[in-house]
Amino acid sequence: MMNRRDFLQRSAALAGSLAMPALFSRDRNSVKMQETDLTILYTNDTHARIEPFPENARRFAGLGGIARRASLIDKVRQTQKNVLLLDAGDIFHGTPWFDVYGGSVDLDLMTRMGYDAAAIGNHEFDRGPDGFAEAAQKAGFPFLAANYDVRNTPMNPFVERFIVREFSGFRVGIFGLGIGFSGLIDSANSGDVRAYDPIRNAETAVESLKEYYRCDIIICLSHLGFSYIQTRNDDLRLTERIQGIDIIIGGHTHTFMEEPLIFPRENGSSTLITHMGHSGVRVGRIDVSFGSENSGSPFSLSSRYYTIGDT
């Protein structure tokens, strides 16, 4: 097993020698693009930020706001036939909206926006499994966690290991990974939920989605965090050890990525890692087009983000 430094150096070398199937744009004002086979919109760590930041805020003054996010999403749907809307966790905690309503307002509004799935963040445990289940009754979408065992808990009706979305001509498999509880989630809040090795469970999920469900694209909604100095699992370690994930949409570390990271594989495939910071300030977008001949990949990706409220 190669260490992380060697892995990153090897990835950089491969990136220079392979034609990567991805383009990046930070045009935050234009919504309309040429119609593609699939458009993925995504958020992470929105942290109960229902309203925009106040105009006198030290950071992100006037930015964000769930109504403006909904307006953007509606505009994208008017121009694209197939849209997936995803979140990488930590919907709860951060403003009085959560203190008063416990996350139910966020999940109700996200349901109205048409979210397809969300990962479970550590703050989804802030009110324990019972509090999560109470709020999740407002969620018209599943929470995904391949490495959490929620059986015999109030969370069970709302959590799945993965889902498959079928479009005309292709299938998309989406699974979730949650962070380990140690040092983050008190046992009183995790209750009878058990967290298991995300790497091992990711491998099992990818195998099922590829071999049994015959998915053409596999997306991981990860709340592991982008990168840690310590030994805690993160998105980089996941990419090092598991092949077959095409896109990792991450959260937890509040990482603002100006463009995704691409880790090419020698077989011509690659894994894309992307994070959109926190508080709903940005919405990420990945457009997927099939039939690409780039590096032998069956599809190509183009990526951009929108800053909500930046006109």
Output 261 or 231, whichever has higher pLDDT: 261
Q: Is the pLDDT of residue 13 over 70?
A: no
Identify which of 153, 161, 83 has the alpha carbon closest to the alpha carbon of residue 120.
161
Q: What residues contact residue 285 under an 8 Å CB cut-off, 6+ apart?
A: 39, 40, 41, 42, 76, 303, 304, 305, 306
What single DSSP character describes residue 208? I
198 touches 177 (CB < 8 A): yes
Higher pLDDT, residue 23 or 198: 198
Based on the number of CB atoms within 10 Å of its own CB, is 79 exposed (0-12), middle (13-18) or buried (19 or more)? middle
Does the pLDDT value for residue 195 go beyond 90? yes
Query: Which of 2-16, 68-82, 154-168, 207-221 has the lowest average pLDDT?
Result: 2-16
CB 134 within 8 A of CB 106: no
pLDDT tens sequence across 122-138: 999 999 999 999 999 99
Higher pLDDT, 80 or 311: 80
Per-residue pLDDT at 246 exceeds 90: yes
For 149-188, what is each residue's pLDDT tens digit? Answer: 999 999 999 999 999 999 988 999 999 999 999 989 999 9
pLDDT band at 311 (very low <50, low <70, confident <90, very high): low
Query: What are the boundaries of each domain within the chain?
Result: 36-44+79-84+126-311
Amino acid 6: pLDDT: 54
**Residue 9 pLDDT more than 80?**
no
Which residues are 290's β-sheet partners? 299
Confidence check: pLDDT of 230 > 80: no
Query: Sorting pLDDT into bands at 50, 70 and 90, what band is 112?
Result: very high
**pLDDT level of residue 231 (50, 70, 90 thresholds):** confident
- For residue 6, CA distances in Å to 1, 9, 13, 224, 232 come to 10, 5, 10, 21, 19
Q: What is the pLDDT of residues 254-297, one digit of tens each?
A: 999 999 999 988 777 899 999 999 999 999 999 999 875 544 56
pTM of the model: 0.89
Answer yes or no: is pLDDT of 222 > 70. Answer: yes
**What is the residue whose two structure tokens read 């509040």?**
254
* CB 175, CB 144: distance < 8 Å: yes
Residue 307 pLDDT grade (very low, low, confident, very high; cuts 50, 70, 90): very high
Cα 274 to Cα 71, 129, 204, distances in angstroms: 23, 29, 22
Dist CA 248 CA 251 (whole Å): 10
Q: Does domain 36-44+79-84+126-311 have CATH number 3.60.21.10?
A: yes
User: For the chain, what percent of residues have pLDDT higher than 70?
Assistant: 86
